[in-house]
Copies of this chain bind each other. A is one copy, B any other.
Amino acid sequence: MTRLLREEKVFKDPVHKYIYVQDETIWNLINTKEFQRLRRIRQLGTSFMTFHGAEHSRFSHSLGVYEVARRIISQFERNGYADWPSEERLLCLCAALLHDIGHGPFSHSVERVFGTHHEEWTCRLVLGDTEVNRVLREADPDLPRKVSDVICKSYDKEIVVSLISSQLDADRMDYLLRDAYFTGVHYGTFDLERILRVIRPHQGHMVVKESGMHAIEDYLMSRYQMYWQVYFHPVTRSSEIVLRKIFERAKRLYGDRYPFQFLMGPLVGLLENDIGIDDYLALDESYVQMTIMQWSKERDPILSDLCERFLHRRLFKYVALDVIDEAWERELKESFAAVGIDPDYYLEIDFLTDLPYDVYRPGDEEESLPIWLLNERDELVEISRRSDIIRSISGIHMGKHHVYFPAEPIEEKAGLLSPGVRRMLGVTGESNE
């Protein structure tokens, strides 16, 4: 079914040294315009405003996930594990490569405002009238459907799904290493070769041999560090909030028939909640970035101010609070409104539990497939039952609440605020980094 290339192709990759492509289907998928488009979408959204190295794209991550999956499978094949369904190799590789193909620009913020879902779009692109779909069908008419099933986790072989999305999948293994590399946060790394040596297929599951428990602890600690040091960084949150406020303001203005000086095709689709494949594909980060540049000159003062903030990195300040109750929240909003600062766009109270937090937590409803240890008596044990460390990070509490707001107008109007609000916001201080 799968044809091999005449000669192996390689991509130089800073994380995995080389990425090896042997299958014609994989090579052709990489060369589709839908896949090439991922070069124009950053892997970490607005994180580059906090960690200036984090400018890498979903293109390089997608190649990385493919490569990790390829290495896992190649290790399974080399060891001749009986429980590995070797006929699923190409499917796994395609799903690994394509799992993020539906991502749009700055997904977190866009999805929250406009209600799009990148998983859905991934399936639309795999199943729809696209170059990706044509390449998959050439290899096997059923391949688009299967790839879509794996990515949506409805494929009937758990081990195939595990490789692409579980607590210990190729996706996470690549993004932790890659994000650590590009941010420069090297404590986010773990030993990939060591992990490869301890995982194996077992009766339909992906399992870890018991002696590999410490390797998994190390991997989960890397995730934990990356979450707290990088993914939840308050400056990154601040930039996401400003971006979200921009979209919220634009949506409101559009609803109010505000006469935008700049507004082009794909974005109208998003605002109308009716967007086709071609427009979605045109909607990359250059598009969003340039729109924000144009909107920084719109007459609406809120929209243009928010856009300027995003462009020139004049983000919201934050203060951390141990607790905040509804009364306080109400008082804050009213104070802001009272001094003429619209709390809908200039105030945000952020609870980290709102986030897509995936530090390993078995028992959660939304949980991914857990990590199984295979002990010496060939029994499966969920890993947090054996590891105190993993148990301790599974139930970990979520840190503090953060209040985000723009430093300058609030500082200027500090005299008009109640002493309690001033104290809470620390408004006599300087703005932070």
Contacts and interface: CB of A to CB of B under 8 A. Distances in A.
B11 A52 contact: yes
Interface in A35-64: 36, 39-40, 48-49, 51-53, 55-57, 59-60, 63
Interface residues of A, number: 69
Interface in A278-315: 282, 284-287, 289-290, 293, 311-313
Contact of A55 (B13, B55, B181): B55
A13 B53 contact: yes
A45 B340 CA distance: 44
Contact of A313 (B11, B31, B218, B311): B31
B48 A39 contact: yes
Residues of A contacting B: mostly: helix
A17 interface: yes
A140 B218 CA distance: 44
Interface stretch (A187-195, A250-258, A325-333): A187-195
A389 B224 CA distance: 10
Interface in A211-226: 214-215, 217-218, 221, 224-225
Given A55-B55, A56-B55, A14 B183 contact: yes
A221 to B, nearest CB: 5
Contacts of A293: 282, 284, 286-287
Contacts of A60: 52-53, 55
Contact of A14 (B48, B182, B286, B311): B182
A199 to B, nearest CB: 15
Contacts of A312: 32-33, 36
Contact of A214 (B31, B229, B397): B229
Nearest to A283: B293
Interface in A381-433: 388-389, 391-393, 395-397, 433
Given A287-B293, A389-B392, 9 more contacts: A14-B182, A39-B313, A55-B57, A182-B182, A214-B225, A218-B221, A286-B287, A388-B396, A389-B389
10 contacts: A11-B52, A13-B184, A14-B53, A14-B182, A17-B184, A214-B229, A221-B221, A221-B389, A286-B289, A389-B389
